[in-house]
Structures are given as C-alpha cells and as structure tokens.
Amino acid sequence: MPWPIYLAFKQLFPSGRRVPFFTLISVLGVALGVALMLVTMSVMGGFGHQIKKMIIDTQGEVQVRARVLLDQPAAATVEKALAASPAVEAYAPYATGMVMLEYQSRPAFPAVQGFNYEQMKKVVPLGQYLTAGSLDNLDDDSVILSSVLASTLGVRMGDTVSLYSPLALERAKRNELLLPREVLVAGIFHVGHQQLDSSTVLCSLRLMQDLYGLEQRVHGYNVRLKPGADEHAAAAALNQNLPAGTRALTWFEANADFQAVLSFERNMIFFLLTFIIVVAAFSITSSLLVTVVRKTREIGLLGAMGGRARHVAACFCVQGLFIGLAGTALGLALGFALLHFRDDLVGFIARMTMGREAFVKFYQFSALPAHTAPKDVALIIIFSVLASTIAGLIPAWRAARLQPVEALRSE
C-alpha cells in the first residue's frame, strides 16, 4: 500500500486507539446527509412509483383519447388499429364526466367513469381494489363508489343513491324534467390514493352514455400493453394508424402536468439536500485544516524523511476520500434501515403529532411508499464521495506547501 494511503488510514483509524473525534464527526456528517438524501429520494420515488401503478391500474399504460367524442365508425377504426397493434394486449372503451350524487338529501359531486366491465377487466385490475361487493354485480342500474365518498355520505352496500346528470340542465332549458337515476350501490373500492378514493363513481358504459346522452359514443379507450412492451413506442406506433381527432397517450403523457410537478419537486429536493453534504464537506475541510496545523512538525518530518509534497498532499486528500467512503457507506446503511422501518417511524410520528387519519388525508397515501432507484443511489454515492474528496484538497494543498525546514521549526 502506498505510504500516503497507509498514513491517511492510520491517522483516521489509529490502531490501539479510539477513532479520533474529528473523524467520527466528519463521517457522521456525511452519513446523515447521505441517509437523508437516500430516504427522501426513495420516498419521493415511492410516491412517483405508487402514482404510476395507480394510474396504470385504473387507466392502462396507454389511453386513446378523442378530441370530442368517438362515434361508432370512428370507434371501429380505433378498435381496428388497436387490434392490429402487436404491443396491445387488451383495450376497453370508456366515457367519463361529472354528476351530482345524492343520498338522503346529502349531495356530492364525484367524477364518473363508465366502462364495459367484460372488456375493462382485461385492461385494469379494478377487482383487486374492491373492499365490498363485486364487479360481477355491476349492471346498468348499479354503481360502485369510492371508499371515502361512501363513508362521507354514509352509503353502504345495497343502498340506493340518486344520480343527477348535467343533461337535466339542458332538458330544463326546454321546460322538460329529467328525473334523477336511482341506482343501487353494488360495491365499494379503495385504491389508496386520497384523490381517487374521495370522490369517484364507477358504472357501466351504457349507464354513463345514458346519463350524458352520448348514445353509442365514447370518450376514448384504455389500453393494456403486452408485458415488456415499451409504452412510448407502442403509443407512437398507434398514432400512425389512428383516425384524425384521436391520439394515443402514454400514462405519463396523459398525466404530464402532474408528472412534471413531481419531477420538479424531486429535483428541487435533491438540489436542496445536496447542501447538507456540502456543509458536511466544509466540516471535513475545517477538521483537516486543524489537523494540518496540529501536525505541522510531523509533515516536516515526512519531508525530512524523503516524502514529496505531492505525497503529503495525497495523504490529506485520501483522508477526505476515506471520510467520504465511510460516511457514504454508513449513510446508506442508515438510510436503508430507516426505509425498512419507515412505516413504524411514520406511525410513531403521526401518533405523536397529527394522528394517522390526518396524515392519510393530508398525504393521500395510507402507507409511506418508497422506491429506491439504482440511479439515485449511484448519484448520491458519486456526489458525497466527490464532495468529501474535494473537501480534502484545501488542507492537502496547504500541507503540500509547507517547507520541511519551516515545518520542523514551527512551535
């Protein structure tokens, strides 16, 4: 082992002695920064991953959307293009809109999604999100409510609710009265996302078409791709064959604004958290500078023994590198441990502060998701080790500038 590395290691972790306080503090500083970055980026990644899963589970990987509405001939063209695509596994038409739902004089204004269940069950696994009832019971006179909507209105399985369509307003203008549609609650679902769970109604495509007077027209298609198919390539290929006025969008494009906000938040948080490691790097610089001053005569001795200036510099640079490596390794271990026990920790914090319900309501997820991307881990490792090594450069430069004769003479 080259002597600068040997000496650097010995100065940081002397044999037979306790690890110097400055080494501990420096390593801990880097470790805390790394752990915080890892946990934050993983939780942010978890939110993104969860949202992606929920979007795909409720919409499919690709959506074909019509600019206005797809009538039967246009729908047939779209279906022909979808059937011809080698990447498409299944597809289902949908119609969507808003209604007023009333139960025992209590109104709500949920979003409604109408679909053909026989086709839809091949596209999205809605059944796995049902907490009561069954999709098999869904017919043109029944609906499935989201969990929070049902509990807010006090609706239970088997109750009857009234649906008021916007079509009633159009009829009212013509002095016609459109009575609300009385439907049975055939099931309750819970996805785990507060926005979807709070105010969504699922119904058959025919019921939705009746409520909005769409006749046979639909708003678009949800598309499930074959396993391993690239969604961007599949959407691009579909767009070559779709009729005018329709467009295939990946789940990412269909929620581009939301994804852009998530991505921006993630990048900003990463940027801000890097300052923790920068501060830790300053602490390394300051500690090593103190060491250079404290060890001035030893540095002089190394010169007197034949140590070159660049080797003396390397000794301090390597100390920064060692601190970076040790701090990063410790930080990763701490970060992964925190991620492993995150639900216990969050539960504890929630109990101590706002309460679990408030937490779920505010953060929209019932459990703290986490998804650690290898790219994020690599980025954190590179950044922290690089920052720590650079932190050692200033003390190294100062040590290298010391003339042995001056250093040996110093008091």
Partner 1 sequence: MSALQPSSFSVLRARGIAKTYPSGDRTLAVLTGVDFALAAGETVSVRGESGSGKSTLLNILAGLDRPDRGELFWGTEAAHDLSLGELTARRSRFLGMVFQSYYLIPELDAFANVLLGARMLGGVGAAERARATALLRRVGLAERGHHLPAQLSGGERQRVAVARALMNRPAVILADEPTGNLDERTGDEVIGLLLEVCAEEKAALVLVTHNPAHAKKTSRQLVLKNGQMGYG
Task: Name the residue nearer to partner 1 (CB basis): 260 or 304.
Answer: 304
Exactly one of 254, 309, 317, 399 binds partner 1 (CB under 8 A); that residue is 309
Footprint (CB under 8 A) of partner 1, residues 367-406 = 403-405
Q: Does 318 bind partner 1 (CB under 8 A)?
A: no
- In whole angstroms, what is the distance from residue 342 CA to residue 99 CA? 39
Task: Name the residue nearer to partner 1 (CB basis): 12 or 126.
Answer: 12
Task: Name the residue nearer to partner 1 (CB basis): 305 or 352.
Answer: 305
Nearest distance in Å: CB 12, partner 1? 9
Task: Name the residue nearer to partner 1 (CB basis): 7 or 87.
Answer: 7
Task: Name the residue nearer to partner 1 (CB basis): 92 or 302.
Answer: 302
Site string for partner 1, 243-282 (x = CB under 8 A): ----------------------------------------
Q: Does 317 bind partner 1 (CB under 8 A)?
A: no
Q: Kindly report the CA angle at 192 between 189 and 198, in degrees rounded to 5?
A: 65
- In whole angstroms, what is the distance from residue 155 CA to residue 157 CA? 7
376, 313 Cβ separation under 8 angstroms: no
- In whole angstroms, what is the distance from residue 391 CA to residue 41 CA? 24
Task: Name the residue nearer to partner 1 (CB basis): 87 or 309.
Answer: 309
* The pairing of beta strand 160-164 with beta strand 181-189: antiparallel
Near partner 1 by CB under 8 A, which window of 4-12, 111-119, 155-163, 346-354? 4-12
- In whole angstroms, what is the distance from residue 299 CA to residue 283 CA? 22
Task: Name the residue nearer to partner 1 (CB basis): 5 or 325.
Answer: 5
Report the candidate in 121, 122, 79, 115 with the shortest Cα–Cα distance to residue 238: 79
C-alpha pair distances (Å), 364 with each of 16, 129, 169, 192: 53, 16, 34, 7
Number of residues located near partner 1, criterion CB under 8 A? 26
Count of alpha carbons within 13 angstroms of residue 161, beta-carbon side: 29
Q: Does 142 bind partner 1 (CB under 8 A)?
A: no
41, 240 Cβ separation under 8 angstroms: no
63, 129 Cβ separation under 8 angstroms: no
Nearest distance in Å: CB 402, partner 1? 12
C-alpha pair distances (Å), 255 with each of 51, 94, 111, 265, 374: 10, 17, 16, 16, 24
Q: Which residues make Cβ contacts (< 8 Å) with residue 18, sequence separation at least 6?
A: none
Task: Name the residue nearer to partner 1 (CB basis): 278 or 301.
Answer: 301
Nearest distance in Å: CB 298, partner 1? 6
Chain-centre distance of CA 7, in angstroms? 44
Exactly one of 29, 303, 324, 395 binds partner 1 (CB under 8 A); that residue is 303
Task: Name the residue nearer to partner 1 (CB basis): 134 or 403.
Answer: 403
Tokens 């009561």 -> residue: 132
Site string for partner 1, 7-46 (x = CB under 8 A): x--xx--xxxx-----------------------------
138, 187 Cβ separation under 8 angstroms: yes
Nearest distance in Å: CB 393, partner 1? 20
Exactly one of 86, 228, 306, 374 binds partner 1 (CB under 8 A); that residue is 306
Q: What is the sign of the dihedral through the CA atoms of 208, 212, 213 and 217?
A: negative
Nearest distance in Å: CB 17, partner 1? 7
Exactly one of 308, 340, 361, 401 binds partner 1 (CB under 8 A); that residue is 308
Residues of this chain that bind partner 1 (CB under 8 A): 3, 6-7, 10-11, 14-17, 297-298, 300-309, 311, 403-405, 408
